[in-house]
Amino acid sequence: KAGVTQTPRYLIKTRGQQVTLSCSPISGHRSVSWYQQTPGQGLQFLFEYFSETQRNKGNFPGRFSGRQFSNSRSEMNVSTLELGDSALYLCASSLVVHSSSPLHFGNGTRLTVT
Amino acid sequence: AQKITQTQPGMFVQEKEAVTLDCTYDTSDPSYGLFWYKQPSSGEMIFLIYQGSYDQQNATEGRYSLNFQKARKSANLVISASQLGDSAMYFCAMRVPGANSKLTFGKGITLSVRP
C-alpha cells in the first residue's frame, strides 16, 4: 500500500510570494492533517480535514489556508510568504478522526523562504 | 489543554542494548490516545506504537514497548536490542476526543546508537 505522498520535496521561494503544497493520503484514508515543524517551535498543528470539511484549525494567521478534494487529496497554501515560514511541512492521513487512530505522515515538503 | 513533556537531552545507547525514552503528559480528559513517532534525518515521521488510556496492558510492537503508568501520567518508550538504524528523533504525542482535537507533540528526544 502506498504511503502518504507530498509534493514537492523541496521549495525555495522569495518573501511575498505564495506557495501551494500537495498531499495525497493513503488509499482509503479520509482524514488529512497538516503540521509545520521548525527547530524553535517544534511540531505545530495547522489544520485537519475530513471528507472535504475543515474540522479543526491551529493558531496560524489567515495567510495559511488549505482544502481537501473529493478524492481526499489535500493542498495547503501560504500567501505573502515571510522568512519565518521556512519550515518542514508535514502532511498526515488517517482512516478516521479518532483519538485511537494514528496519523501516518509523508516525507514532508521543506520550504525555504529567502 | 493537553501537554506532552519530553525533557531528556540527547540520549546515547550502545548497539544491542535497551533504552528508555521518557514522556509525561497532562490532560483532564479521561479518554485519550498516546503515540510514539520516530523521525530519521530524512524527515519522515514514522508511527511506532499506540496506547489507549483505557488499555489494561502495555502496548508492544516488535522491539518497541510502551511503559504506561497512568497514575504518574507517563508513557515511556522502551526500545530493546538497539540497532544503528534506531538513531533518530523520537516524539511522544497525545490526542483526546472531541471536535477540536488534534495530535499534540512533545519537543522530541534525539537518540544516538553507538556501534
Residue of B nearest to A46 (CA): B102
Interface test with A, best of B2, B35, B42, B44 (most A CBs within 10 A): B44
Residue A46 or A1, more confident = A46
Residue-level pLDDT, tens digit, chain B, 115 residues: 889 999 988 999 999 999 999 999 999 999 999 999 999 998 999 999 999 999 999 999 999 999 999 999 999 999 999 999 999 999 999 999 887 788 999 999 999 999 9
CB contact under 8 Å between B44 and A106, yes or no, is yes
Section A6-10 average pLDDT = 96
| pLDDT at residue A1 is higher than 80 | no
CB contact under 8 Å between B107 and A100, yes or no, is no
With contacts defined as CB-CB under 8 Å, which chain B residues touch A2? none
State residue B101's pLDDT score: 83
| pLDDT at residue A89 is higher than 90 | yes
C-alpha span between B113 and B73 (Å, rounded)? 27
Q: Are A73 and A22 in contact (CB under 8 A)?
A: yes
C-alpha span between A100 and A110 (Å, rounded)? 29
State residue A2's pLDDT score: 80
State residue A101's pLDDT score: 85
Tens digit of pLDDT for each residue in A18-70?
A: 999 999 999 999 999 999 999 999 999 999 999 999 999 999 999 999 999 99
With contacts defined as CB-CB under 8 Å, which chain B residues touch A90? 43, 45
**A43 at the B interface (CB within 8 A)?**
yes
State residue A49's pLDDT score: 94
Chain A and chain B share a number of CB contacts under 8 A equal to 60
Q: Are A1 and A27 in contact (CB under 8 A)?
A: yes
Q: Are B80 and B91 in contact (CB under 8 A)?
A: no
State residue A96's pLDDT score: 80
Q: How many other C-beta atoms are found inside a 10 Å radius of the C-beta of residue B40? A: 13
